[in-house]
Chain A
């Protein structure tokens, strides 16, 4: 149980392209989903928190117009990196949480490479 699916697993695209990443909770309803960024040999850095049907809460220093988050249903959240540039290249990971004292369950991440 508690499976989170993230797609695509890898994206390579040209500078200026917008990229959409999907995060789905397959066997539970997620009241809250989270988006993280992870640099090589570093821990997870929280980018934003989203609750179904409401606007995402972004962490300090994260550009909300650059990283668009939509949480349209209890099982799906999307992250769109708009007009991506090489400095946006990173490993992006989503997680989903059922609520209460339940833990976050993570997807397998998306490796984004901007040329």
Chain B
């Protein structure tokens, strides 16, 4: 069974204080690892897809990296508008899963001004 564990559950930062969120996963053949951002009362917003170990992707203050066992979402000099729940999900390769994702529990990020 595919498993995704995110840590920490919650993270409070001061504006400008860089940090990282962790996503550890177990999947029998990774097709892709996805990062999403979810604001309260809204659906998740797609951020990144990573496909293979060593891959990195960046978008503004966010940078996602991938190893064979985990992914990190690095937040550089965060701003209050970066406050949200960040979700990690994996998609298994092969089978008839039709792109089914297994989500982690999320990390609630709060950035104080």
Q: Which residues of A are in contact with B by a Cβ distance under 8 Å?
A: 2, 4, 6, 32, 34, 42-44, 46, 49, 51, 57, 93-95, 97, 99, 101, 103-109, 111
Q: Chain B: interface residue count, which band?
A: 20 to 34
Most buried by B among A93, A104, A111: A104
CA distance A2 to B47 in the complex (A): 12
CA distance A107 to B46 in the complex (A): 11
Other-chain residue from A43, A95, A97 in contact with B106 (beta carbon distance below 8 A):
A43
Closest approach, in angstroms, between the C-beta of A23 and any C-beta of chain B? 10
B41 near A32: Cβ-Cβ < 8 Å = no
A44 near B99: Cβ-Cβ < 8 Å = no
Q: Which residues of A contact B42 (CB under 8 A)?
A: 108-109
Q: Which residues of B contact A103 (CB under 8 A)?
A: 32, 34, 46, 49
